[in-house]
Amino acid sequence: MAAPTSASLSTDDIFWADADRYLIRYAGAGAFTREIIDHAAGSFLFTEDGRQILDFTSGQMSAILGHSHPEIVATVTRQAAKLDHLFSGMLSRPVVDLAHRLAETLPEPLEKALLLTTGAESNEAAIRMAKLVTGKHEIVSFARSWHGMTQAAAGATYSAGRKGYGPAAPGNFAIPAPNRYRPDFTTADGELDWQRQLDFGFDLIDAQSVGSLAAAIVEPILSSGGIIEPPPGYLPALRDKCAERGMLLILDEAQTGLCRTGTWYAFERDGVVPDILTLSKTLGAGLPLAAVLTSAELEKAAHDRGFLFFTTHVADPLPAAVGTTVLDVLQRDRLDERALHLGGFLRHGLEQIAHRHEIVGDIRGRGLLAGLELVVDRQTKRSSDELGALVTRRCLELGLHMNIVQLPGMGGVFRIAPPLTATEDELSLGLAILDQAISDATGQL
């Protein structure tokens, strides 16, 4: 039989043939979602064949104002026509304005900003700054961490992507993630003994360190690690561990920053102010924008030592103007309060699903960053990759895009992060689809 010609193939077949032939696959063992997305608006994606898909991940956990927010569209249109990109040594008003506005949202002494493009890049710059200022090179992060795929960020990432690429930079250490659902150190009543876990982790760090501990970099809520939220008291204790060793504390708020958890920054709950804060994803609301924030003292120390992080798109005016619009909308519409309210609505709905379905083992998270862990057995907490894949696939068939994290030793954990502009009706629709998908999937096991 002759091979099909382009004339005999549908336009969809040609699209996927071209995708298979010309694109480098970048998601490890994961495959591209077999939908051709044509456009998006608010909380919904629309495919070329007319399907409407509710987006429960805000794109890549970024579009906190929904897709194609009219004020973002207006800012991009206006700024692109005026000034989009500059030589990296030049400055424009949007850049200084955004740096000023970010400082106003933060506690002292965080007031100095470096504007970049991606979360990996901001973490790269933060780690580079910490090493230069301290004169040391060792970096500590969580064993379930994700900080990016560039060199230093990848060295501090342990949830995926470490095998097969040769040796990482020396001086990267992991400590256990404080997972209350699957505790490794327990109290007499079986709860996570996070203080003993943290002590043990730093005992191992001290044993391995060559005396050059520069910084710890952690997320206030580990997202790619399965929505793991350190218990109250953990971050202050971690800060003390760092202070005892002359280390800086870097908080990566790529996904938790800018109102998603119900406060402007997730670290506010714990009363901890980091030495360096990194932002991305939510700052650009879907466009490439990231930031490193630190104190005037640390910035001066870095500058005096010749701090260099010169990139093609550092301090670009177009994304900076978008960032200021994002802050305008967040403040005007009180989206921190909205995220807190909608987060309670979402959690109540997830708890109802858990009541109906034994395969829901745990619900966790804060505000509009929620995690739902699936297990085959609630008593043993045994996981099943097949179960998570079935539910994810069925959700998409029913019109809901969900993202599931599947890591060794954990059940499939849905990361649920709708836009902060979502409505209760949209959340109810998503919850109803998820409920139906779980019912359909468990019927196939």
Q: State how far Cα 349 lies from the chain centre.
A: 23
Nearest residue to 217 (alpha-carbon basis) of 254, 185, 269, 244: 254
Rounded-to-integer distance, Cα 340 and Cα 348, Å: 12
- Catalytic choice (229, 252, 275, 299): 252
398 SS3 class: helix
| β-bridge partners, 249 | 216
For the question of residue 146 being annotated catalytic, the response is: yes
Rounded-to-integer distance, Cα 169 and Cα 128, Å: 13
For the question of residue 219 being annotated catalytic, the response is: yes
- Catalytic choice (121, 138, 219, 299): 219
11-15 long-range CB contacts below 8 Å, 24 or more apart? 12/36, 12/48, 12/49
Q: b/e map of 267-285 (b: 16 or more CB within 10 Å)?
A: bbbbebbbbbbbbbbbbbb
| β-bridge partners, 373 | 362, 413
For the question of residue 305 being annotated catalytic, the response is: no
For residue 218, which phi and psi values (nearest 5 degrees)? -140, 155
For the question of residue 255 being annotated catalytic, the response is: yes
425-432 long-range CB contacts below 8 Å, 24 or more apart? 426/43, 426/54, 427/342, 427/345, 427/346, 427/349, 428/349, 429/54, 429/400, 430/54, 430/56, 430/400, 431/346, 431/349, 431/350, 431/352, 431/353
Tell me the CA distances in angstroms from 393 to 56, 321, 390, 397, one per residue in order: 14, 38, 5, 6
> What is 313-345 written as a DSSP string?
TTT-HHHHHHHHHHHHHHHHTTHHHHHHHHHHH
Rounded-to-integer distance, Cα 438 and Cα 431, Å: 11
For the question of residue 240 being annotated catalytic, the response is: no
For the question of residue 415 being annotated catalytic, the response is: yes
- Catalytic choice (112, 245, 260, 281): 281
DSSP letter assigned to residue 52: E
Contact assessment for residue 149 and residue 119, using Cβ atoms and an 8 Å cutoff: no
Nearest residue to 368 (alpha-carbon basis) of 227, 182, 219: 227
- Catalytic choice (55, 124, 146, 260): 146
Contact assessment for residue 292 and residue 318, using Cβ atoms and an 8 Å cutoff: no
The residue ranges of DSSP E strands in 93-244, in sequence order, are: 110-116, 138-142, 172-175, 213-218
4 SS3 class: coil
- Catalytic choice (79, 197, 255, 406): 255
Catalytic positions are 146, 219, 252, 255, 281, 415
